[in-house]
């Protein structure tokens, strides 16, 4: 699924930043025909969550309605026109000029409608009903009855089965874009290395049985080819400048569609030539072992909630560089396309995770949850397959996998991911550890651990012994690369204690230091991701002071805690990027 772009053959505009908005707590809108337009709306910002924009509606997750008007730019009448939503959480139902276009389930991934037949030159009315209730048969789930097998139930309000606030609304831009009829629909790029040559394999999908011209430029090279649309093409780049965190080299690929001797469509894509493979205990980037340092993170910021804020993206990359991180996991859902584009440019390695967090395996609703997970896996790979920064797919975070159904569930998803993308390792991020049977077939084992925090609390020494022993046992059973994808401690900024005690800045710094010593001592541990880059909003719970998870090494407004300075020493940051 290509991200819309503007060039002489395509045009993309963003719909306005203020829409009309109505909460619909009694769910009257559908019967009252609000899809054809409603009155009495108040202004709301798009993109942004609704929860923080108004007083008194923070915890409201039920139906709400958005509407906006737009005119078509000049010259679009002859074009194919599509409407694209970057992310709406959780269910979106869409009407254009009173006609229902369809619906999409699941936040964090884009969806679009071909509206060529329904747009008018002017006065178009777009209405979206959004609803984000928590339910056991949704993914991620909520309002799940307690599981007797769960040894550590954590009650929260709202009752999520995950540890972040269930923000609702239109979270990423809504785009309207025009393309030529019969033009480029999709493009898949896979890169490889043969000696000093870079190989760029392309598969193009387009409406017309036309010819395409492919041109790859950069670093003194220009390679081109003309191919029939359905054909696989390979461009060979002699002496290729490979993509890596140290040198995030990106070539410019241009695809042009040719008809009657002329160009009628064009799409440009940055291409990073790199390979990512697993060999024994090692993760290899361009054939060389790579170790990941970095974080889990959240799309979370005051007032805007989970809405896209480009300045926060830039800031977070600057913070990650400053501490010496080379990677992150898109905990616990795919991040914005803007975030992924910058990962390519700035040379970050990304574990791209579906929104499948907090999965459980009671028979009730299981089939529906599997169907949703398959949908998300497909949508995520379709969206992100061309990013050199994406080095791994994560199928889920911390599933409650103690029931037998879990193994078949993940085998199904693993096979799907590998069939859609045979080039990248696939993983499941586990809190179960040794009993996580999906580790048998996953290419890499990812583990989250909080010894010295939740259990045993306050005891870093014991915590590190437990960690060390568990890592060895796990590796004994699953001899493959292992990543510690979460470890950390809640910390109140400005709270100090000597000797360190829980919630103090010293405790967090000490715990991370000691964990990193253990991780560095195990050659099969190829990654260490601290939980979390920044403090973030959660529901209310006894273990969530002020409705916040405080495990950030930066505060929610991005100020460093002691641990950030410590990580910078441990990970050997050379200093922030020069202007
Ligand atoms: C892990 C989850 C993460 C939580 C973290 C914590 O993967 O989402 O925020 O624990 O408890 O279980 O801080």
How many whole angstroms from 448 Cα to the centroid of ligand 1?
8
The predicted model gives 1-14 an average pLDDT of 96
Ligand 1, residues 142, 152, 163, 484: which to mutate, most atoms within 8 A of Cβ? 163
For residue 454, the ligand 1 atom closest to its alpha carbon is 11
Choose one of 398, 447, 449 to mutate for the ligand 1 pocket test, by most ligand atoms within 8 angstroms of C-beta. Answer: 398
Going by pLDDT thresholds of 50, 70 and 90, the confidence category of residue 491 is very high
User: Mean pLDDT lowest for which of 32-36, 108-112, 229-233, 547-551?
Assistant: 229-233
Contact in structure between 208 and 183 (CB atoms under 8 Å): yes
Distance CA 532, CA 342 (A): 20
Q: Which three-class secondary structure state does DSSP give residue 211?
A: strand
Averaged over 468-492, what is the pLDDT? 98
Name the percent of the chain lying above pLDDT 90: 92
What is the predicted pLDDT for the residue at 575?
Answer: 52
Ligand 1 midpoint to CA 43 (Å): 35
Is residue 108 predicted with pLDDT exceeding 80? yes
Topology at the third CATH level for domain 11-132+168-177: Jelly Rolls (2.60.120)
Nearest CA to ligand 1 atom 6: 163
pLDDT at res. 469: 98
Rounded Cα distance between 377 and 499, Å, is: 46
Q: What is the pLDDT of residue 570?
A: 97
User: 191: closest CA among 335, 326, 344?
Assistant: 344
Tell me the CA–centroid distance for residue 556 and ligand 1, in Å. Answer: 16
Cα of 450 vs centre of ligand 1, distance in Å, is 9
Q: How far is the CA of 398 from the centre of ligand 1 (A)?
A: 9
Lowest mean pLDDT among 99-103, 206-210, 302-306: 206-210
| 184-271 CATH pick, 3.40.50.150, 3.20.20.70, 2.60.40.10, 3.40.190.10 | 2.60.40.10
Render pLDDT for 240-265 as a digit per residue (tens, 0 to 9): 999 999 999 999 999 999 998 899 99
30-44, 135-149, 168-182, 411-425: range with lowest mean pLDDT = 135-149
Tens digits of residue pLDDT in 293-314: 999 999 999 999 999 999 999 9
Protein residue with least CA distance to atom 4, ligand 1: 163
Mean pLDDT, all residues of the chain: 96
Alpha helices in 302-439, H assignment, sequence order: 310-323, 337-346, 366-384, 405-420
63: helix, strand or coil? coil
Flag the least confident range among 9-13, 154-158, 512-516.
Answer: 154-158
- Decide if 184-271 and 286-577 have a common fold: no
pLDDT band per the 50, 70, 90 thresholds, residue 363: confident
Domain boundaries, the chain: 11-132+168-177, 184-271, 286-577
> DSSP E strands: which ranges in 219-330?
221-228, 232-237, 251-259, 262-271, 276-279, 282-285, 288-289, 292-296, 327-329
Residue 42 confidence class, pLDDT cut points 50, 70, 90: very high
What are the backbone angles phi and psi of residue 158, rounded to the nearest 5°? -60, 155
Residues with CB under 6 A from ligand 1: 163, 332, 397-398, 431, 448, 486, 531, 549, 551
pLDDT classification of 577: cutoffs 50, 70, 90: low
The structure tokens listed for 164 are 């972040």
Measured by CA distance, the residue closest to atom 9 of ligand 1 is 163
- The closest residue, in CA terms, to atom 3 on ligand 1 is 163
- Can you state the percent helix, strand and coil of the chain, rounding each to 5? 20, 35, 45
Q: Which ligand 1 atom sits closest to the C-alpha of 549?
A: 13
* Averaged pLDDT, 56-81: 96
**Closest to 112 (Cα-Cα) out of 84, 149, 70:** 84
**Considering only CA atoms, which residue is closest to atom 8 of ligand 1?**
163
pLDDT at 59: 97
Residue bearing the CA closest to ligand 1, atom 11 = 163
Residues paired with residue 84 on neighbouring β-strands, in sequence order:
112, 175
Q: Does the structure show a pLDDT above 80 at 152?
A: no
- What is the model's pLDDT at position 230? 77
Pocket test for ligand 1, best of 484, 486, 547, 549 (most atoms within 8 A of CB): 486
Whether pLDDT at 578 is above 60: no
Pairing of strands 18-23, 64-70: antiparallel
User: CB burial class (10 A; 0-12, 13-18, 19+) of residue 540?
Assistant: middle
* Catalytic positions: 398, 486
Q: What is the DSSP string of 190-201?
A: EEEEETTEEEEE
Q: How confident is the model at residue 573 (pLDDT cuts 50, 70, 90)?
A: confident
Q: How many angstroms does the Cα of residue 436 sit away from the middle of ligand 1?
A: 17
**Whether CATH 3.20.20.80 fits 286-577:** yes
């Amino acid at each position: 699924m290509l991200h819309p772009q503007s060039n002489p053959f395509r045009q993309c505009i963003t719909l306005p930043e203020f829409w009309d908005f109505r909460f619909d707590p009694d769910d009257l809108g559908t019967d009252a025909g609000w899809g054809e337009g409603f009155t009495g709306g108040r202004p709301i910002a798009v993109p942004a969550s609704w929860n923080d924009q108004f007083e008194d509606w923070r915890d409201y997750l039920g139906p709400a309605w958005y509407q906006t008007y737009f005119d078509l730019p000049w010259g679009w009448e002859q074009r194919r026109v599509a409407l694209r939503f970057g992310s709406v959480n959780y269910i979106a139902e869409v009407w254009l000029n009173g006609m229902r276009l369809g619906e999409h389930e699941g936040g964090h991934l884009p969806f679009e409608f071909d509206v060529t037949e329904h747009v008018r030159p002017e006065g178009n009315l777009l209405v979206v009903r959004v609803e984000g209730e928590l339910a056991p048969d949704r993914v991620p789930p909520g309002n799940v009855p307690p599981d007797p097998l769960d040894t550590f139930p954590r009650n929260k309000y709202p009752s999520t089965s995950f540890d972040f606030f269930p923000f609702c609304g239109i979270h990423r831009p809504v785009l309207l874009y025009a393309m030529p009829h019969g033009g480029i629909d999709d493009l898949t790029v896979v890169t490889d290395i043969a000696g000093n040559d870079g190989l760029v394999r392309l598969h193009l999908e387009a409406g017309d049985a036309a010819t395409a011209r492919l041109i790859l430029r950069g670093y003194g090279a220009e390679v081109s080819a003309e191919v029939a649309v359905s054909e696989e093409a390979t461009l060979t780049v002699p002496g290729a400048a490979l993509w890596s965190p140290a040198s995030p080299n990106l070539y410019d690929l241009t695809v042009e569609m040719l008809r009657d001797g002329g160009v009628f469509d064009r799409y440009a894509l940055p291409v990073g030539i790199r390979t990512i493979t697993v060999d024994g205990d090692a993760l290899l980037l361009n054939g060389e072992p790579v170790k990941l340092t970095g974080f889990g993170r959240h799309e979370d910021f005051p007032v805007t909630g989970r809405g896209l804020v480009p300045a926060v993206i830039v800031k977070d990359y600057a913070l990650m560089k400053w501490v010496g991180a080379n990677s992150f996991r898109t905990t616990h859902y795919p991040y914005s396309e803007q975030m992924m584009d910058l990962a390519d440019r700035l040379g970050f390695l990304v574990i791209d995770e579906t929104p499948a967090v907090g999965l459980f395996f009671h028979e009730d609703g299981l089939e529906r949850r599997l169907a949703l997970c398959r949908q998300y896996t497909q949508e995520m790979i379709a969206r992100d397959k061309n990013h050199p920064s994406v080095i791994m797919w994560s199928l889920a975070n911390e599933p409650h996998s103690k029931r037998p159904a879990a193994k078949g569930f993940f085998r199904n998803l693993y096979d799907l991911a590998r069939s859609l993308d045979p080039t990248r390792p696939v993983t499941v991020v586990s809190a179960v550890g040794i009993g996580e049977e999906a580790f048998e077939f996953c290419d890499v084992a990812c583990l989250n651990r909080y010894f010295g925090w939740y259990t045993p609390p306050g005891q870093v020494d014991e915590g590190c012994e437990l960690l060390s022993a568990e890592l060895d046992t796990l590796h004994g059973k699953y001899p493959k690369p292992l990543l510690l994808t979460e470890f950390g401690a809640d910390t109140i900024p400005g709270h100090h204690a000597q000797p360190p005690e829980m919630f103090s800045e010293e405790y967090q710094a000490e715990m991370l230091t000691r964990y990193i010593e253990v991780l560095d001592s195990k050659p099969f541990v190829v990654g260490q991701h601290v939980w979390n880059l920044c403090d973030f909003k959660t529901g209310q719970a006894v273990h969530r002071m002020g409705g916040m998870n405080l495990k950030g090494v930066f505060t929610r407004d991005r100020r460093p805690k002691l641990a950030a300075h410590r990580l910078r020493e441990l990970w050997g940051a050379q200093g922030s990027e020069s202007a």
